Structure 1
Amino acid sequence: MTAPFRYPRFFVTAPSPCPYLPGREERKVFTELNGQHAGELNDALGRIGFRRSQSVAYRPSCVGCSACVSVRVVAGEFRPNNSQRKLIRRHSDLEVHACRPWATGEQFDLLRRYLASRHPGGGMATMDEGDYADMVEQSPVNSFVVEYREPAVDGKRGRLVAACITDQQADGLSMIYSFFDTEDASRPSLGNFVIMDHILRARAAGLEYVYLGYWVKGSQRMAYKARYRPIEVLGPDGWAPFDPDVDTVPVHAPRVPAFA
């Protein structure tokens, strides 16, 4: 008999077209999150740039390219600028609820409209309701679906206008995936509001960071992540303050720890 693995095993995906930079290929290193210590492992991997998708933690491991860098907002030091303060006031009437990770038809309908508007040719465009349920419910860690609703009317709960699948880690909130109404002109910039709401809630809860995933210099799809300051980037020497308008992007990702 062979002894059970005590430490995670890492695997690498086959190369595929990069969704952010034309003409490049992406490759990921990943491991499975399971067992009673899945949350601790996810926290540890999150601090070295991994992201969670269902029961898998992954990170880019592309040959000859290190454009994707992990970024996080320092929640306790965040100070919204004038336009951000106006946006917070604009949506201050929304009711926010951290719900258990259970998929609903209402959430899926909102996601479907969001994908059709923002990412019609993306890899998620063909998701069905079962795929969405897997995305939400297959979480071995402390996860929520944070819902943003308009005020209740006559005892009926308000319309769902935004949602975010969120993990609570030991040192912060990790925004796994957010989606929102893109068509209601009375609710502008909901995606930006959801991020700021997470930052303010993390600060109120005494959590240090909000993890935003990967920022890619030169990718318009990722440009919004640079709007929230102060921001830190993960480089070869760990996390450090970063000004995307001035600083050079780290050219090497931190090494995956050698679990023995």
Structure 2
Amino acid sequence: MTVHHPQTPQFFLTSPSACPYLPGQAERKVFTHLVGDRASGLLDLLSQGGFRRSQNIAYRPACERCRACVSVRILVDEFRPGRSMRRVIARNADLVGRMSEPSPSSEQYSLFRRYLDDRHTHGGMSEMSVLDYAMMVEDSQVDTRLIQYRERGPDSAFTTASDGDLVAVALSDVMGDGVSMVYSFFEPTESARSLGTYMILDHIERTRRMGLPYLYLGYWVNGSRKMDYKIRFQPQEHLMAKGWERYEG
């Protein structure tokens, strides 16, 4: 029997649950599946409307009483790092970032666990097993890349053989108009490096070199300290009721 997938994606709505960003609020999400040959094109289209990817699901907030979640993308060609961001780049000059196909490893998972145990003890991902992690990395039908950041060795310009310890990892999607940072994590004991900031700066430069105009950062929530860092990377655009609008706060 031949199974025909519908040409128009089907959308579903989750039940209300506690908002992880604003106390006292409830969140709901609308989502659809990203499957088959059309997955990449569908993700490109949905990203324009503020959707994000998690494995083979594209979702966006659909809360009944709140519109605090705002989709953010950086205008990479116009972005210029300020003094503090240039210091972050300099502090991490001893790192090398390797981009590859999304392939999980026990080394990555160990770093992932240290990050969760330090930063997100009670978060929704805190109970993820090594198999859950592998699914997060591998379960994608779009153009997904894994960037691993390691201490630079004496021969890192020529070979990976002398690369040092793994200190940060980013899982990112390459789309038609930009790069979307899906998830990233880093060594919690290396707080002086500001690795979260550094990975965004590195992705801005990678996106620019690819000739793509936007780096998608997901959602910014005004009033949530967890999301404050995203507003620092300007100029950027926010998805508002009439479409994407330039933001320079």
Q: Which amino acid aligns with 1:207?
A: L
Q: Which residue of 1 aligns with 2:21?
A: 20
Instruction: State the 1:3 CA deviation.
Output: 6.4
The question of 1:192 aligning with 2:197 is answered yes
* Code of the aligned partner of 1:208: P
Q: Distance in 1 between matches of 2:60 and 2:123?
A: 19
The equivalent position to 1:226 in structure 2, one of 210, 223, 231, is: 231
Output aligned runs, 1:203-242, within 5 Å. 203-242=208-247
AA aligned to 2:37 is: Q
Instruction: Specify the SS of the correspondent of 1:222.
Output: helix
- The equivalences for 1:44-63 within 5 A come to 44-63=45-64
Instruction: Please identify runs of 4+ aligned residues in structure 1 that moved more than 2 A.
Output: 1-4, 152-157
Structure 2 alignment gaps of length 5 or more = 156-160
In the other structure, the counterpart of 1:174 is 180
Task: Quote the Cα distance in structure 2 between the aligned partners of 1:183 and 1:62.
Answer: 36
Aligned to 2:158: none
* Aligned residue number for residue 37 of structure 1: 38
Deviations 1:40-96 (A, max 9, x none): 000110111000000000000001100001000000000000010111111122111
Change (3 A) 1:4 1:113: closer
Matched to 2:174, the amino acid is Q
Name the amino acid aligned to 1:37.
Answer: R
Distance, in Å, in 2 between the alignment partners of 1:218 and 1:26 is 16
User: Could you say what secondary structure the match of 1:141 adopts?
Assistant: coil
Deviations 1:141-173 (A, max 9, x none): 000111110012684431110010000001111
Q: Give me the whole-angstrom Cα distance separating, in 1, the residues matched to 2:174 and 2:210.
A: 11
TM-score normalized by the length of structure 1: 0.90
Q: Distance in 1 between matches of 2:20 and 2:82?
A: 31
Q: Find the aligned partners of 1:57 and 1:43 in 2 and give their Cα distance.
A: 11
**Alignment correspondent of 1:255:** none
Root-mean-square deviation over aligned CA pairs: 1.5
Shift of 1:198: 0.2
Q: CA deviation at 1:196?
A: 0.5
How many residues are paired up? 243
Alignment-derived partner of residue 139 in structure 1: 140
* Identical residues among aligned pairs (%): 49
Q: Match for 1:26: what amino acid? A: E
